Structures are given as C-alpha cells and as structure tokens.
A and B are shown apart, each in its own frame.
Chain A
Amino acid sequence: MRAIAIDPITRIEGHLKVEITVENGKIVHARSSGALFRGVETILIGRHPLDAQRITTRICGVCPLAHSTAASLALDEALGISEAIPQNGRLLRNLIYAANWLHNHILHFYHLSLPDYVVFRGALSGFLASGAERDERFSSAESEVLARHYLEALEIRKKAHELVALFGGKMPHDMAIVPGGVTFCPGPGDLAAFRFRLSEIRGFLENVYVPDVISVARRYADYFGMGKVGRLLSFGAFPEENGGAIGRLVPAGLLRHGEPEKLDPREIREEVVSSWYEGSGGHPGEANPCPSPEKREAYSWVKAPRYKGEAYEVGPAARVSLGLVFGPPSLQALARDLLGEAKAGPEDLSSVMGRHISRAIEALFLAKEMEKWLSQLDWTRPVAAPLAVPKEGEGQGLTEAPRGALGHWLRIKDGRIAHYQVVSPTTWNASPRDEKGKPGPIEEALEGTPVGDDALLVAGRIVRSFDPCLACAVQ
C-alpha cells in the first residue's frame, strides 16, 4: 500500500491537495482538500446589496463573470426586476458571459491540460515538464504542431478577453454586468469590433481547437473509460427570455445514469461533516456555517453540496449530456457530430476525455449562438432597467459557470446584506466526504483507477478534466 499526497495540484486555479492510496495497482481511496479560505461570504454581511456583484466577481480571476452574473440574477430577484430586464440587457449579458466561456475552454485545454498529453521541447521544455513522456502517444512532429498551437492559443484567449471587455468594460473582473442589465450601450463601431474578433476566434475553434481536442481524444481513447461519475446536474444558462430557469439555451436538470429529472433547487443541502466549519450545514438560502480551522475530523475548506443526499458532477459533461435530452436541435446535432468524430457516445461524456470533448462542443455551439445574439442587439434601445434597493428582500441567482452549476443566495434586511452564500461548480466537484461517508465527484472519479509509477500523471489528468477552480470552491 502506498499513500501519495499530491500537493499542490498545479495547472488548475488555486490551492488543491489530493491524497491517494494505491493498493494492488489501483487507487483505493482518494481525498480532495481545498487549502485556502478567505471568507468572502462573511465580508459581504452588512454591506450595501449593490456591492455584491462587484465584490463576488473578485472571488475568481478566471471566471469572474460567473459571479457577476449569479449575483446580478439574485439581486434582480431581490429587487423585483427579473421580468423588467430590457432585451438589450439580456443579450449583452449573454454575449459578455459567453465570451468568457470561449476564453475559459481554450485556456483549459491548451494551457492547463495539454502538458499532460504532449511533451514540450525547446525553450519551455523544463518549465512545462509534467512527466507526460511516460505515456507519450504523439510523434515529435505532431507534438511540435500542438506546442505551436499552445502559443497561438495564448493570443486567441487574449482576443476572447477583448470580446468580454468590448461590452463588459475590462477583464478580468468585468464591470458592466449589474442588477437590471448592463451599464454599457455599445455603438455600431463596438458591434463591428466584436463581430470581427468573434469571427477570428470561431475560425480558431473550427480549424485548430476542435481538431486538436478530437486528436487527443482519439489518441487517448482509453480515457473515455476513466474518471467516470455518471450523476450529472446543471442549473442552465443563457436566458433566451426573462425570468427563471425556463427558456435557457443551456438547459437545467439532472441525469442519474442516463435518466433525466427536473431540477428543484430546494433539494440542495451543503454538508460540512468533513469540512472545516461548525454546525450541520443546510440549504444555502438559510445555513451559514462558521469556519472552524481546527475541527479534527475535517480535511477540506470545500463544503459538500448534495442534491437529495447525493453528490453530482457539474460542468460541461453535465450540460452536454442534458443538452442531448432537453437542448436545442443545433446543439444536439453538433454534439453527435463531434462525438462521432471522436468515436465516442453520449454515455462517454462523464469521463476524462468526455469532459474535454464537451467543452469543444459547447465552445463551437456558443460561438455560433453569439453571432445570433449580436444580430438581435438594437443599439438605440435601453440596456438596463431602473432599480431601487428595498429594505427587505431575498433572491436566488442560478447559472452555469464554465466549470458548472453556480448559485448565489442572498437576503436583504434593513437595506443591507444579511445573508450571502455561494455554491460554486468546484464546491460540487471537489467536495469532500458527506454525512453518509460518500465521496465527492473528484474523489469518486479517482477511486478504482489503475495506476503504476505514473500515478501523478494519471491522477493529474483525471483531476484536471474537471477544470477545478478552488478560489470559487471556497470563497
């Protein structure tokens, strides 16, 4: 029996430690541990409600828009203006947010994941050496092309941030998304600047990114059988009309091993038995567990969200799987196409390679949808609804971050924030064991995996396929 502490896990956002126990050539036990606590939920208490979307944006520098979006949705509800968002406000929110998804998926594949599959030679060989040579499946000529794409992708992801900034002010830490809509009225020149950058990025997605993902997936086809979870959940994102989870382009719902179910957010409960907090947890709209850094039986700052008592994987595999059941026909056709090219099926999505393919599917799908939203913008019309902050109110903001389901829950009392809880995608995926002793999704994905001397490489590939973001998981 061998115990290995992988600390720190690199090429993710933030501070994560994973401990694995290997017995008879298999990972028999895994513990995922979030190693940083800042207390942003506590910092929000007593502040003016409209500070929430700017302060929560700063939970994460990779996907700040996920938080400005979720906070603004929660505030829209608390302020009673969810139905009043003007069409331009909704479209601009969608466009700014979708641009960040493109950035995220490109960054995750090339800069966070590719060094696990490709041996880099030349100037960056030492810095990027991951041990991938233990399982090298590309020729040196193929690796050279992929290494060149790594550098090209640095430029393209920068252009995706220029898209965010064009309508969103700046990036990271976008500014324009606010309760009621957005602050910025783009003019005709901004629309043209957006359209041409988007078309350049779409060209890269079609000609470089998607083919690269497919070629990694075909070369590492065994990874469709690794890191599987199978219970999938999505809150849905990109509203096509005002209000609620209905009419979202990316659908909300659950899948339990292929069986679809409707989502009822009241069934979410955050457990803290293995986390450094006091108390017994509860629904994020009510419970507010206090940090307890010396709690003995705990091993992580990440709480353990559960839906009807079960852990769910969230993220691209969940969204594409649900999209194949509830999603628009254009998404379904694209998903079947790319899965076909990768020689995989819908049942393979919740796996290491399935997650990479899912990101490729939704990046291409969103780039096309963005062109549609862009053509619906009318720059002569208003972008925000007028707002007034009430003395009392409460709101729930559910959306999908690039990494999966994100919820903000808030309550206003005497005109100030009295309660604020964030449950982010990596809170679900990197969660520790719950009250029943059941593992979180990353732990579950690791357990049972055959490993030899390559344990660091294999475990790294599995953990990174979830695109963990620890600054989001623990705020």
Chain B
Amino acid sequence: MRQVLEGSQAVAFAVRLARAKVISAYPITPQTHIVEELAKFCADGSLDGRFICVESEHSAMATMIGAAAGGVRTFTASSSHGLAYMHEMLHWASAARLPIVMAEVNRALGPGWNLWLDQTDSLAQRDTGWIQLYCEDSQEAMDTTLQAYLLAETVNLPVMVVLDAFFLSHTFEPVDVPGQAAVDGFLPTFQPKFQLDPAAPCTLYPMAGPAVYMEMRQSLQAAMDRVPAVYARIQDDFAARFGRSYGVVEAFRCDDAEVVLVMAGTTASTCREMVQNLRAQGQRVGLLKLKLFRPFPAEAIHRCLKGVPKVAVVDRNNSAGAGGIFAQELKAALCNRQERPAIYSYVAGLGGRDITTGTLESIYWKTLEAAEPTQDSQWVDVHEELAKS
C-alpha cells in the first residue's frame, strides 16, 4: 500500500513489520521521529514490543546487547553525539556477534552545536565492526531496514541503516509499504544462534587472552567478508518479492563516462538530476552511489569504474588531517589494481550546508579540466574570508 511517509516513519514502519521485540533509545534530534513513532506503536499495541526509555545512548546499546543476547529481535536509533557516546558499546555489539539493527541519522558533531546533515558521525564508527548501509530516499530506508534484519541475523553482525538528517529523516515521500504477510515471508521469526538460557547455561564474552582473542577477531572479519555475497542473495530475494533492488553500489549512467561522481545518501538524488542535465548537453558524466560502506565493496566499485578515467568523490564528512573519508576508502580499495581512475577528493556540504546541482556541476567541471588530482581534499563552497578568521 502506498503511503506518504517521512523517512523516519518509513524506518519505524519497517521495524514494526520486522516485529522487533525490544526497542531502546535516547532522544536526539533528528532521530526523534523514529523513536516517537515506535513508542506509539508499542503503546497502541500495533507492535508487540517493549520500548525502554534509557538515560543515554551508551545504555541504549547496552540494553540492545542484553536483549539480543536474550534471544529477541532489537532496534535502536541514534545520531551524532549520541552515536559517539555509544562508541564503546558498538565495538561490544559486533564482537558479541549480536544481530542488532540501528537507524543512524547523519548529523554534525559539535562544537558548535549543529543539528544538520554531516556524515562524519557514522563514518567515524567505521572500525567498530558494524555493517553500514546508506539510504537515498524513504523507500530505500524502509526496504533497507527490512533487509538489515535478515542480513544481521544471517551473518550475526549488527547493521547500521544510515539516513541523512532532515533531507531524508524529515521529508515526506510516497512509500510502498509492504503487507505484513509478505514481510513475514521474507523475514521469518528470529531464530538466535545462541542465547542466555537457564536450561542450557553458558558464559558469553568472558576474558579472552592472547591465545584466543586474535581468532575471535578473525572470525568477525570472516563474517564481514561474507556480507557482499549474502546481501546480494537477500536483495535478489527482496526484489523477487517486492520488485525493488539497490545493489551494494549503484552505477548511474557511468558507461563511457569521463568523470564519475561518487557519494552516498540524498546527495545522490541531486546528482542524478545534475547528471541528466549535463548528459543532455553532451557531457560524459556519471554517478556512483555508495550504499554498502562496511564492508567496503571494493570489487563492485572497481567493476563499475572500469574504463572511467576520472572519479570525483564528494564527501559530506571530513577526517581532520586526512580529508574526505569516502575518498580515502576508494583510494585504498583501488590502489593495488592495475586499471584504476584518477581519484579527486572534494569535501562539501558539512553541517547541513546545501549541495545543489550547481555545486556538483562545478565539481564536475573542475575535475574534467584538472590535469591531475591534488593529494589533499578540496573544500567546496567555503567562504574563504570566514575560514581564515
């Protein structure tokens, strides 16, 4: 059934369709609409779940860990400072191999306080062992949340479904909401591979010394390595049932492109329009949208960029001292390949600054006309006078 939903609602509807049992969260703008909706569902009985209002994000993730180890499906949502505060428990959740699903709304970190879109918060968690899936619109947010449960429960790793602040979390769009029976067919009842059970006592996560720790982390790596193939199967099944598929990356008009712009999130929608406009003018430009970020889909990216001479990575994030994070990842993924494009790195749209089709078009022209890439990221649309002061 098609409904007009906010991106936040699309996630909440998906969590209800997934029949999550324990939901725990701490409010932070712009994540609040997701958890308010779920609190309502638990209160009105449309979701047979318990909403636990904790006092911090650190406790929210700890509660998820307790509930998931207790053998039920879980959900939380956070953003920015909240996600950063959760950081310790993100490591715990993944190494505990618990299939927790979290929605993370990309928001800038202070100081100064800033509520708006910036991807540095989620990307700063790239080493925590969480699968990360980025979404472009409300439909994708709903579908990705449903897929996230199946993916998490198949490989026993937690999944972060990432949404842009406001541009996605607070924007209403028509969404095809699948029926409960169809979702139940796609996502069966959770069968935990292990759980706390007095009838079969076991100790979870005891001290692990040098003789065993490394193998534990290697098995986490192995689980991550399985993700691209497992996620492809899940997406195929989803497509057969619901008619929609996203891939781990999406190449849009990349054939014969001279310059391909690479990005994640809602900026990809703006870029599609820019690509259409420039293609109509005869420019050979394409878009590569990143959906899966952890594990980083190096193979798929390499395949999509075959024969492309120049790539412009548009990062709505920055790792101070190293530059745009997607660009770093792309460089690392391609550096040992015989055939690889020149990689141009642009930092743009931090802290909610708009990225318009004009912004992206200027990035295209700049890349096309450059003789070779700069080593550092180039900052786009900055007020030079303000930056110097």
Do A and B interact?
no
Measured CB to CB, the residues of B under 8 A from A are none
